[in-house]
């Protein structure tokens, strides 16, 4: 498994309409894409920061992962995503090493990337995603 960089940092927000102007007007970043990921029950907004993206996450349903997170913890950093060469190969490798997986096989996430999540209990409390084109 080869992690090349931090692909994105996911940040849970109550409202994209409220959060985007902060990142654009205060921090001077540019939102380059807004996309709904129905499978994950979120609407996402992306900003490029060097080689890494910020992914703002607005929940589209209270029973989705971000809806539950917002209710329990409020707005804030939700997950860290590492870029890997091949998501399924990496999930297999991590599973064989005994890492607790949320996803045993990859699914489709925002920007057409393959994604898979590791359980936060396995990563010292950090919900961790691996993602890639393969
Ligand atoms: N970061 C760290 N810990 C988290 C967490 C997060 N984002 N979300 C939940 N947890 C912790 C909870 O605090 C809880 O800990 P305790 O047992 O100590 O209280 C534990 O994980 C279980 O949480 P829960 O609320 O009982 O369980 P959920 O039903 O909310 O499931 C999780 C949690 C992580 C398994 C679920 O959110 C999940 O499957 N996430 C992966 C998918 C996802 O997050 N998608 C949204 C982003 C999509 C995208 O980027 O496109």
Closest-lying ligand 1 atom to the alpha carbon of residue 127: 1
State residue 60's pLDDT score.
98
Q: Is the CB of 81 under 6 A from ligand 1?
A: no
Residue 57 beta carbon below 6 angstroms from any ligand 1 atom: yes
DSSP 51: T
CA-nearest of 61, 73, 53 to 12 is 73
Convert the pLDDT of each residue in 52-97 to its tens digit.
999 999 999 999 999 999 999 999 999 999 999 999 999 999 999 9
**Cβ atoms of 117 and 126 closer than 8 Å:** no
Report the pLDDT value the prediction gives residue 29, as an integer from 0 to 100.
98
CA–centroid distance, 111 to ligand 1, in Å, is 22
How much is the pLDDT for 22? 98
Token look-up 């209270």 returns 62
Band (pLDDT 50/70/90 cuts) for residue 105 is very high
Percent of the chain at pLDDT > 70 equals: 100
pLDDT at 8: 97
Atom of ligand 1 nearest to the CA of 102: 39
Smallest CA separation from ligand 1 atom 43, residue? 65
Q: Are strands 128-132 and 114-118 parallel, antiparallel or unpaired?
A: antiparallel
- Give percent of the chain with pLDDT exceeding 90: 94
């Amino acid at each position: 498994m080869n992690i090349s960089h931090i692909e994105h940092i996911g940040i849970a927000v109550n409202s994209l309409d409220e959060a985007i102007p902060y990142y654009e007007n205060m921090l001077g970043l540019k939102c380059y894409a807004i996309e709904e990921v129905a499978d994950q029950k979120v609407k996402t907004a992306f900003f490029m920061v060097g080689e890494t993206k910020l992914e703002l996450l607005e929940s589209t349903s209270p029973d989705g992962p971000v809806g539950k997170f917002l209710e329990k913890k409020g707005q804030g950093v939700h997950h860290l995503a590492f870029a890997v060469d091949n998501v399924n190969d990496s999930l297999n490798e991590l599973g064989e090493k005994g890492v607790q997986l949320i996803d045993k096989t990859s699914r489709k996430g925002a920007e057409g990337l393959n994604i898979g999540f590791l359980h936060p209990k396995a990563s010292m409390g950090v919900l961790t995603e691996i993602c890639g084109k393969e």
